[in-house]
Amino acid sequence: QKEVEQNSGPLSVPEGAIASLNCTYSDRGSQSFFWYRQYSGKSPELIMSIYSNGDKEDGRFTAQLNKASQYVSLLIRDSQPSDSATYLCAVVSGSARQLTFGSGTQLTVLP
Amino acid sequence: DTEVTQTPKHLVMGMTNKKSLKCEQHMGHRAMYWYKQKAKKPPELMFVYSYEKLSINESVPSRFSPECPNSSLLNLHLHALQPEDSALYLCASSQGAIADTQYFGPGTRLTVL
């Protein structure tokens, strides 16, 4: 079982829709969770960090964490073509004590 | 300011060359990282420096040699690389602990001929 798993996609949504990106992790002792956005040929850019169960909102982005289910998600409201990118879920596991990335979900927002 | 800078942006080198990648941050962060990223794959951790000491080496071949001259600078010395080492090399920094948010530099696109 991979430590961090994401739906590989690709995921396509129409402009203005909600995009939902999902991530599960295997280490129950994990404490820190991050979503990064990466445009093709560019470096990862932090979108959200979340540490506690529940929702965290920042503009059009909402991160949701459920430690009991070992699940973290990212919702993008009012999706824009400029949101088209690969979204990387990253987790600091309790045991490995390093940032482990999922394989990424490629999102395309269609005009 | 969450800026991490990396030079050069692009590097082409032969298998017998020696070159260095540089990374700098002025955020007062005490942990710095080197990652390697191949196309359509997530970043893979190579090295971690914490308070200027090498704390993690992910079994990286010795042709990659990291150096942390001070708390703001991180170098990656390259020697006798192979074509399969061609990748995007990313530097990141975080405030202190590995659990802290990591901020990435723009990366160096390395091509080994």
pLDDT one-digit tens code per residue, B62-92: 999 999 999 999 999 999 999 999 999 999 9
Contact predicate B21/B32, CB 8 Å: no
* pLDDT at residue B56, as a whole number: 80
Residue B62, beta-bridge partner list: none
Q: What percent of chain B has pLDDT over 70?
A: 98
**Angle, CA of A24, A29 and A35, to the nearest 5°:** 45
| Predicted pLDDT of residue A8 | 74
10 Å CB burial of residue B28 (0-12, 13-18, 19+) is exposed
Query: Given the structure tokens 């093709």, which residue do they identify?
Result: A40
Dump the DSSP string for A25-36. Answer: ES-TT--EEEEE
Alpha helices in B38-95 (DSSP H): none
Average pLDDT (B1-12) is 91
Q: Which two tokens stand for residue A8?
A: 């590989």
Min Cα distance B109 → chain A (Å) is 9
Shortest CA distance to B68 belongs to which of B51, B56, B85?
A: B51
On chain A, the residues whose CB falls within 8 A of the CB of B88 are 43
Tens of pLDDT, residues A38-68: 999 999 999 999 999 999 999 999 999 999 9
Of B2, B48, B105, the CB nearest to A43: B105
CA A20 to chain CA centroid, nearest Å:
9
Give yes or no for B42 touching A (CB within 8 A). yes
- pLDDT tens by residue, A58-108: 999 999 999 999 999 999 999 999 999 999 999 998 766 788 999 999 999
Interface of B with A in 56-75 (CB under 8 A): 56
CB contact (8 A) between residue A101 and residue B103: no
Question: A29 and A42 in contact (C-beta within 8 Å)?
Answer: no
